[in-house]
C-alpha cells in the first residue's frame, strides 16, 4: 500500500501532544498541502504535564496549576505555528485537552466522551486516510490513544487507508516500520522548521527532536488483529471455548505485581475495562473492573516454564467489537510494551451486527 496523496483525499491525523504532528507526520502534512487534500489534526493533550522543560525555561522548581495552564496555552500556540508552516493555516487544529500523561488512565476509566468526540470528527470529515499513533509506541499516551481511536472508529476504517507512526521506539530491537515516505531536501528542511516551532521543547531536547527531520518518514500499515511483534510479551491471544486465552511470556522468575489490562468494546456490555495481577504461581485470580472497582469474575492462570496462560470467561461479552490487552511494565517513564489487539470471535463487529439485524427481522 503506497502513501500517495491526491486532492480528493481527506486526512485525519491523531497527535497525542503538540510536537507529535511535526515529528511524526511533518512530511505527510506537507504532501497533503501540496496535493490540495483536506486535513484535520486532533491534538489530544496540550502537553501541560511537561515539568522539566518548564522548570528549565521558567527557572522555577514548583509548578502550580496556573503555571501548567499557561504552559498548555503556550504549547497549543506552538502547535498552531507549526501547522501554519506545514499547511499554510491552523484551521485544521482541534484540541481535546485530555490529561497529559494520563491517557491510559482515561482509557481504563472508559473514555466515553473522547470516543464520542473522535467518532463525531470522523463522521464530519469522512476521511480517506487516517494516521494514528502506534499501539506499540513506548509512550503510554500514544499507545492508549491508538486504542481509544480504534474504539471510536470501529466498523468505519474499512474504507480508509490507515497508517500508524512511532515517535518513541524501544531501542534497536524494535521492528522497523514497513512503509517509508521519502522526503525531498526541501521537505526535510521544512519539517525541521516545524519542529523548531515547538520552542518549549528545544531547551532540553533540540538535538533529539530535530533528528526526526530526515529523508525517510516511517509509517506502518495498520496490522491485522492478532499480529504482534516478537518483542511483545503477549505471545498468543485468541477466543476459544467461550474464554479469552492469553499466553504471556513472564520469564523464569515472574516479576511480582505485574498487571494485565483488558480493554474491549462489547455490544451487550458496552465498555469492558478489566485488570488482574499476574500471579507467580498457578491459581484462580480475581479480576477488577477498572471503571467501577468491582470484582466481576475470576479467571484461571497457569504458570509454567516462563509463561503464564490466562483464561478469562468471555461468553457474556459476545458479540465483541474489538479487544486490546496490555501488560503493565514501566521502564522509568516509558512502557516496556504497548497494547496488542485480539482478533474478535466470529468475524468481529460487522458480522455481529449483521447477525443481530437478521435475528431481529426473524423475530418480527
- Give the pLDDT confidence of 261-277 residue by residue, as tens digits: 999 999 998 999 999 99
Domains and CATH numbers, the chain: 10-221 (3.40.50.10320), 234-353 (2.60.40)
Residue 244 grid coordinates: 479469552
Grid cell digits, residue 275: 485488570
| pLDDT of amino acid 360 | 42
CA 76 – CA 90 distance, rounded (Å): 11
For residue 359, pLDDT over 70 is answered with: no
Q: What is the pTM of this model?
A: 0.92
Which has the minimum average pLDDT: 31-35, 81-85, 130-134, 347-351?
A: 347-351
Give the pLDDT of residue 175: 65
Residue 199 or residue 350, greater confidence: 199
> How many Å apart are CA 268 and CA 300, to the nearest integer?
24
Quote the pLDDT of residue 226.
76
In the prediction, which pLDDT does 174 show?
60
Residue with the bigger pLDDT between 47 and 332: it is 47
Strand partners, 157: none
- How many residues does the structure list for the chain? 364
Give the pLDDT band (50/70/90) at residue 361.
low
Write down the pLDDT at residue 3. Answer: 86
- 3-class DSSP assignment, residue 263: strand
Q: Is the pLDDT score of 100 beyond 50?
A: yes
- Lowest-confidence region among 130-139, 167-176, 337-346: 167-176
Alpha carbon of 261 to those of 4, 5, 266, 273, 325: distances in Å?
A: 37, 37, 16, 7, 6
The pLDDT value given to residue 253: 66
Q: Residue 342: is its pLDDT beyond 60?
A: yes
pLDDT of the residue at 263: 96
Amino acid at each position: 500500500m503506497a502513501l500517495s496523496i491526491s486532492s480528493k483525499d481527506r486526512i485525519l491525523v491523531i497527535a497525542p501532544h503538540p510536537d507529535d504532528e511535526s515529528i511524526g507526520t511533518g512530511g505527510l502534512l506537507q504532501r497533503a498541502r501540496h496535493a490540495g487534500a483536506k486535513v484535520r489534526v486532533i491534538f489530544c493533550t496540550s502537553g501541560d504535564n511537561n515539568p522539566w522543560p518548564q522548570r528549565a525555561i521558567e527557572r522555577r522548581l514548583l509548578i502550580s496549576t496556573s503555571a501548567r495552564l499557561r504552559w498548555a496555552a503556550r504549547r497549543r500556540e506552538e502547535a498552531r505555528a507549526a501547522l501554519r508552516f506545514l499547511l499554510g493555516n491552523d484551521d485544521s487544529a482541534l484540541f481535546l485537552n485530555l490529561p497529559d500523561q494520563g491517557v491510559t488512565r482515561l482509557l481504563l476509566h472508559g473514555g466515553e466522551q473522547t470516543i464520542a468526540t473522535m467518532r463525531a470528527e470522523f463522521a464530519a470529515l469522512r476521511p480517506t486516510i487516517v494516521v494514528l499513533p502506534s499501539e506499540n509506541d513506548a509512550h503510554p499516551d500514544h499507545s492508549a490513544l491508538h486504542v481509544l481511536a480504534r474504539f471510536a472508529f470501529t466498523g468505519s476504517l474499512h474504507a480508509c487507508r490507515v497508517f500508524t507512526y512511532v515517535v518513541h521506539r524501544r531501542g534497536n530491537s524494535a521492528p522497523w516500520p514497513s512503509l517509508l515516505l521519502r522526503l525531498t531536501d526541501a521537505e526535510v528542511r521544512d519539517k525541521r522548521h516545524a519542529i523548531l516551532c515547538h520552542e518549549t521543547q528545544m531547551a532540553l531536547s533540540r538535538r533529539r527532536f530535530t533528528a526526526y527531520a530526515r529523508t525517510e518518514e516511517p509509517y506502518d500499515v495498520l496490522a491485522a488483529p492478532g499480529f504482534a511483534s516478537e518483542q511483545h510479551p503477549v505471545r498468543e491471544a485468541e477466543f476459544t471455548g467461550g474464554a479469552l486465552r492469553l499466553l504471556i511470556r513472564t520469564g523464569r522468575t515472574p516479576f511480582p505485581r505485574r498487571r494485565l489490562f483488558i480493554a474491549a468494546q462489547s455490544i451487550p456490555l458496552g465498555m469492558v475495562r478489566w485488570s488482574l495481577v499476574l500471579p507467580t504461581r498457578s491459581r484462580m485470580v480475581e479480576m477488577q473492573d477498572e471503571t467501577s472497582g468491582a470484582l466481576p469474575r475470576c479467571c484461571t492462570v497457569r504458570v509454567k516454564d516462563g509463561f503464564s496462560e490466562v483464561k478469562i470467561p468471555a461468553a457474556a461479552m459476545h458479540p465483541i467489537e474489538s479487544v486490546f490487552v496490555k501488560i503493565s511494565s514501566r521502564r522509568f517513564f516509558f512502557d516496556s510494551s504497548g497494547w496488542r489487539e485480539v482478533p474478535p470471535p466470529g468475524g468481529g463487529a460487522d458480522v455481529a451486527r449483521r447477525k443481530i439485524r437478521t435475528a431481529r427481522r426473524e423475530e418480527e
